Amino acid sequence: MDFALSEEQEMFRGYLRKYLDDAGQTKVAREFIKGEMHALKNSLAGLAELGCTGINISERYGGLGLGALDLVPVFEEIGRALLPGVYLETMALVVPLLEKYGSEEQKEKYLSEIASGSKNVTLAWAEPRKSYNPDEIACFAREEEGALVIDGMKSLVPDGELADTYLLLVRTSEGTGGDGLSLVLIDGTDDIEMRTQKCVDETKHLAEMTFREVKVSKRQLLGSINHGWSILQEGLLYLNAALSSIMVGGMEKIVEMSTEYAKIREQFGQPIGRFQAIKHRIVDMKLELETARSLSYYANWSLESEEKDRKAAIFSARAFTTEAYIRVASHNIQIHGGIGFTEEMDCQLYLKRARYFENYLGSTSHYNEQIALAMGW
């Protein structure tokens, strides 16, 4: 069993790293925090030119027709650079679901534009002061003369202001345990009220969206009506496998930062990297990284190969990598000493990103429960 990246995938990673290094790596995220979007738009346009927005889209819609494993280099490099945006939600959630459940009209409308880099989509799931439990979904869509009329609110929408389209989880009939929920694709419109929300990770912009009698065609339903929950759960397999890759990319950059700093920072007349306490901590960080990388590669490989244990593999990668990312980012700040938590250093940016992912679309405890369920415990 060989689930490592191929020579071609590693070569592609090299191109991406050089491109993002030239773009300034975390400089793009720092410009984004200041509200300057120019660097981000240029970076995203460059990634589209490199073919990153068409990797897992069918050739008939302008893509390359490749799989989840081919996205791994892109996600890892985006994680290294802390690149803002909704590439994750677009490519690792919406595209696989559109490919499998989208109507021909939806595929032609959305996949071609996503492949060209001119459209991106984010997920609108959570609601104010509620959890990700399906029974708490109250945003309602009623049928009226061939259309859906939506009323309700969504919150914590990842980078809502950057997205062109939203994949909305709505209730279309009464039910429990996910029954009666549907997924609807809604293009950005003035009828949707949007408010920016604060986020611990300033490189991510969350949004609260309010729908008041917003009317969309029933042709915007993704999959069958009232069956959206099961479709979303399938999409979360793709998203969590990709998310583990993003976190591995961030961890890799952190280990590099720590190692380089331990070589140049001197204390008592010698580099701090010569002290056993620092050496051991960096070795522990490296072990965390390589374990997370192996779990991530296997998760993506098992997803693409449709292995029987893919659910357990993906949720294991998500849960372990989330906690490992936080530990490694925290160690990095400790190694950097007093300057580690200052805004001038990148250390704090990675820790904030790790904390953001800690509860992104579910807590670590939730995903540990999913591992147990997937293994039949």
* Domains present along the chain, CATH in parentheses: 7-120 (1.10.540.10), 123-226 (2.40.110.10), 229-375 (1.20.140.10)
Quick one: average pLDDT of 291-303?
95
Tell me, what's the pLDDT at 94? Answer: 97
Q: How many CB atoms lie within 10 A of CB 375?
A: 12
Query: What is the C-alpha separation between 118 and 123, in angstroms, rounded?
Result: 18
Q: How confident is the model at residue 32 (pLDDT cuts 50, 70, 90)?
A: very high
Query: What is the C-alpha separation between 212 and 261, in angstroms, rounded?
Result: 53
Which token pair is 231?
């479709």
Give the end-to-end CA distance of the chain in Å, rounded to a whole number: 26
Q: How confident is the model at residue 146 (pLDDT cuts 50, 70, 90)?
A: confident
Write down the residue that tokens 């989509």 correspond to: 121
76-129 residue pLDDT tens: 999 999 999 999 999 999 999 999 999 999 999 999 999 999 999 999 999 999
For residues 70 and 3, the model is more confident at: 70
Sign of dihedral through CA atoms 161, 360, 106, 99? Answer: positive
Query: What is the C-alpha separation between 295 and 299, in angstroms, rounded?
Result: 6
| CA distances for 97 relative to 12, 27, 178, 311, angstroms | 25, 33, 17, 17
- Any alpha helices (H) in 200-309, and if so which ranges? 228-264, 276-305
Instruction: Give this prediction's pTM.
Output: 0.95
Quick one: average pLDDT of 196-220?
94
| DSSP 3-state of 140 | strand
Tell me, what's the pLDDT at 340? Answer: 85
Tell me, what's the pLDDT at 377? Answer: 84
Give one DSSP letter per residue of 213-244, joined into a string.
EEEEEGGGEESSTTBHHHHHHHHHHHHHHHHH
Query: What is the C-alpha separation between 174 and 70, in angstroms, rounded?
Result: 40
Quick one: average pLDDT of 63-71?
93
Quick one: average pLDDT of 64-76?
94
Please check whether residue 39 is in contact with residue 23, taking contact to mean a CB–CB distance below 8 angstroms. yes
Q: How confident is the model at residue 145 (pLDDT cuts 50, 70, 90)?
A: confident
Which token pair is 346?
């990148």
Q: Is 218 exposed, middle or buried (0-12, 13-18, 19+ CB in 10 A)?
A: middle
158-168 residue pLDDT tens: 999 999 999 99
| CA distances for 241 relative to 60, 101, 136, 357, angstroms | 25, 20, 26, 13
Tell me, what's the pLDDT at 1? Answer: 67
Write down the residue that tokens 């009623």 correspond to: 142
Average per-residue pLDDT for the chain: 95
Sign of dihedral through CA atoms 196, 222, 302, 4? Answer: negative
